[in-house]
Amino acid sequence: MFALVRRADLAEVIGSALAAKAAGAGVRVIAERLGRAVETVRGWLRRFASRAEEIRRYFTVLLVDAGVDPAPPGPARSVFADAVGAVVGAWWSLGSRWPDIGTVSPWRVACAVSGGILLAPSWPVETINTSRP
C-alpha cells in the first residue's frame, strides 16, 4: 500500500508533512516545501493531531510487540511529535525483525499497517494483534 484512503498524495508526501510539523515547521512552510495547498496540508495535520494519542499508542504497541530488542522513543515536545516518533520507531522495530521492511519508508509501512486508513475518520477500529496472520 502506498496511498492513504481518500487522499490524493502518496503516504511519503503526507508523512513528510507530519514529520516536518513534529519538527516544528508551520503549515505554510510545509505546504510550500511540498508544493501543496495550505488547506490540504492543514487537513492532514489536523486529522493526525485529532488522534495523535491513539496513533502513538497503536504504533508503540506495534514497536514493542514486533521488535527484536525494542526501544520505545522517549517523550518529544508534543503529543503530535510523540505520535510521529512512534510511527518511525515502529518502522525501525519492524525493520530489525524483517530487514526488507527497512527498504520502504516509515510512512508506507504506517499506511500498510493501518490498512490505508491512518487519516480516515474510522481509524483505529481495533487493537493490534501481531500474532494473528
Domain boundaries of the chain, sorted by first residue: 11-113
CA pair distance 14, 132, nearest whole angstrom: 28
Question: Model pTM?
Answer: 0.84
Q: Give the pLDDT of residue 76.
A: 77
Mean local confidence (pLDDT), 120-133:
59
Residue 133: pLDDT over 50: no
Q: What is the pLDDT of residues 58-106, one digit of tens each?
A: 999 999 988 777 777 777 789 999 999 999 999 989 988 888 887 889 9
- Measuring CA to CA, which residue among 20, 14, 33 is closest to residue 4? 14
